[in-house]
Structure formats: structure tokens, C-alpha cells
Structure 1
Amino acid sequence: MSRTIIKAGEAGRASRGMLGLDLRDIASQAESIVGAARAEADRILVEARRQADLLREHAAREGHATGRAQGLEEGRREGEQTALLAATARLDAEQASLVSALSNLLSEFRDRREALLLAARRDVVVLAVVIARRIAERLAALEDVAPEIATEACAEALELVAEASRVLVRAHPKDVAAVRELAAPLAESLQSGRHLRVTEDASVGRGGIVLETPDSQIDGTLTGRIDRIADELVTGWRERLNQWSVKP
């Protein structure tokens, strides 16, 4: 069997050749690995950037949607609040208007009621005056009643002027005697006797008197007494009596 004999010099060159081949291969592989790593890094970077862009876009869309939803919700709430406030204000205004209208209606009703009651009362008094005057006329026509009514009227009138220094009483000629008979003792009790005078006056109706002092005059006729009572009960009855066109 033949053998190849490698000399020492050749062995060194062979070794260097084998070592150089290995190093070149390793360097080439290393460069390939580095290139691949760089490419992968670039790809990863590009992918990362793409993912980041996608995330930003998604976040933007989500944020926009959320913001829009929030805006819509806030707008809805604000709209509801505005509508509620407007409805409340409108209701308050309507209630105030209704209360004002009711108050005015009640006030008008009270005024009308008072006016109606006053008118009714006035009419009742007018009717009473008419009836009383007619009754008084009939009583005054009675010879035994008229003097008594006249003395009663004189007594009432003298009580009203108890402190008067001078008093003049005028009575119908048919009643004057009865009035004088009453006036004398009554005048003394009222401290006006020295200045009391009773005189005849045909213009004074039967059953009545007219009393005069320096300061006042009292109508004590039947009609005057009735009218005075009516004045104490209600005002304006004379105008109402004229409207009735009733002559007692």
C-alpha cells in the first residue's frame, strides 16, 4: 500500500490552507448571520413601527368613539337638563299665571259678592223704608196715636241735645199740646227747661217734631226718623229708592 508522504514545509502550507478555509467560511457565515440579524432587526423594527401605528390608530379611533360617546352622553344629559329646566320654568310660569288668575278671580268674586250683598241689603232697607213710611202715614192719621208718637219723638230728640242752652221744638198744631205736656218735666231733668220752647208748625207732619238748637237741627218727623234709621243701616239707599221710582 502506497502512502503519500507530506514534507514538513508542505504540511505547514496545508495546515494554513485548511485553517484559512475554515476562517473564511466562519467569517462568511458570521456575515450572513449578522446580515440576517440586521434584516430581522429591521423587519422587527418595521413591524413594531407598524404595530405602533396600528395601536395609535386604534387608540385614536377608540378615543374618538369614546369621546363621541361621552360627548353624546354629555350632550344628552345637558339637553335633558336644559329641557328639564325649561319645562320647570314653563311650569312655574304657568302655575304663577294660574295662581294669579285664581287670585284675581277670587278677588273679583269677593268684590262682586260684597257688592251683591250690599245691593241686596240696600234693597231690603229701601223696601223697609217704603213699608215703614206707609205704616207711619196710617198711624199719623189716627188721632189717638199721632200725639203719642210725637211726644216719643220729642223725648228722643231732647236726649240728644241735653246740654243745649236753647231748644226750640216745632210740632203739628194737633200734637203740640201733648208735646208741651211732656216737654216741661223732661226739660227740667235735662237741665234745659229755662230755654225750651214748643211752638206750632203746620208744615210738620202729624206724629213728628222738628227740634232746633243754635248749633243743630233734628228731624223728628216720622219720615225723618225712618230715614235716619236707614242711614245707620246702609248707605246709598236714597239713590236706590229714586231708582225704584216708588212714592210712599
Structure 2
Amino acid sequence: MNFIPFLIICPLTFLAGLVDSIAGGGGLISLPAFLLAGLPPHNALATNKLSSSIGTTASTVRYCKHGYFDKRLTVPSILCALIGSTCGAHLVLLTSDTVVKKLMLVVLPVVAVCVLTDKKEATQVAAFSHRKRMLIVCISAFLIGIYDGFYGPGTGTFLLLALTRLAHMDVRTASGNVKLINLSSNVAALFTFLFSGQVLFAPGLAGAAFCLAGHYIGSGMVMKNGTKIVRPIIIIVLILLFIKVISGN
């Protein structure tokens, strides 16, 4: 790594943290940041996990301090997320760089549409039995954990959709459990990538620092219609990534 890639990684991961704190979907910027900086797909995925794990830890601690999560769902959902994410990370390590690049051209725009069109509206809390809710949450944690280990961007949005619309949890409680599940899947994937030697610490830690700064500033901003800023940023970054992937440079 020379100095130039950091000029790409640092501002974009800062924007990723800012976007994530406003409307979610920061992974749609942070992963392309490492790819645009020239990291090979596997290194980019692994290094992005380092920075995202640190950022997710900060927001998870905040939620837990306020008790915004269902304690009964915590342990089983975390275990499912750990198993699923580990499987996903091992699977992507078995996938060639060429295939991963092609998948990005399909998956990234689909995830972007899901994140940008999700209204995150509160749903009516249904009178679910604890056992039924536990089953839905654990299955969601496992399946979305696989996706997070394999790829990642949009995981928080998909988890929130599953917990509110399928498990019928209230948004505030669901958000806390989402943070715990997402952190667990991030850590599982990170350790898998660490043992495989795919993580690049210099860009990863630099990205983490700027991502945290973006989270801090974004969370302190009182913004209405934040998606008006979020959408153009995500679209511009994805266009730049598409140009890079298609050109092969």
C-alpha cells in the first residue's frame, strides 16, 4: 500500500459512517472504497470487515447501554449468526476473484435498491409466541449471517426487515437485536479472514478511524430527509466502482 489508496479509503469510509448513522447502508460505500483503492476482492471484503466490526461495536454498545434489545433472543440468535457468517466467509474464500467481481455487478445494485427504498416504518407488534419469534429470529440470523460472511453490505437493513416484518418486533427493540446479530456476524467473518491472512491492517484501521468519525458527526447532526444526501453519495460511489470493475483496472 502506498499513500494514494488512503486518499480514497479515508474520505469514503468517513462518508460510509456518516451515511450509516443517518439512514443505514454504509457498507455500500465502505466496501467499494477498498475496491476503488485497488485491493483485490478477497482483501477488500476482509479488510472491510475489520473497519465495519469496529464501527458496529460502537453503535452496539450504545444500544445495549439503553437496554434496547430482547435479552431472551440474544444468545441463540448470536450463535446462529456466528455459525452462518463463518460458513459464508469460508464460502467466499473458496470463490475466485473473477467470480466475486461478477457477483458485485449483480448484488451491489440489488442491495442498494433494497436499502434506499426501505422506509423503516414501524410495524404493528403481533401477539407472537416466544417460541415462534425465536425460531424466526434464529433462522434470519443464520441465513443473513451467511450473506454477511460472504458479502456484507445491507446486512443491517435485511435483519431489521426480518425482525420487524416477519418476527413482528417493535423497531426500537429489533434495532438493538439487529446490532448484536450484525456485530456477531462481523466478528465471525473477521476472524475467519484473519486466519486466512486476507486482512490488510493499515487500510483497515485507517478506514475504521474515519468511519467512526463519520458515525460520531452523523449521529450529532439533526437532519430531516437525510436520504436526500445519502442516495446521491451511494449512487456516485457505485457508479465509480462499476467503471473500475468493468474496465478491469
The TM tier, using the shorter chain, reads under 0.3
TM-score (norm 1): 0.26
Instruction: Compare relative contact order (CA 8 Å, sep 6+) and give the higher one, 1 or 2.
Output: 2
Question: Which has the larger Rg?
Answer: 1
User: Larger strand proportion, structure 1 or 2?
Assistant: 1
User: Larger helix proportion, structure 1 or 2?
Assistant: 2
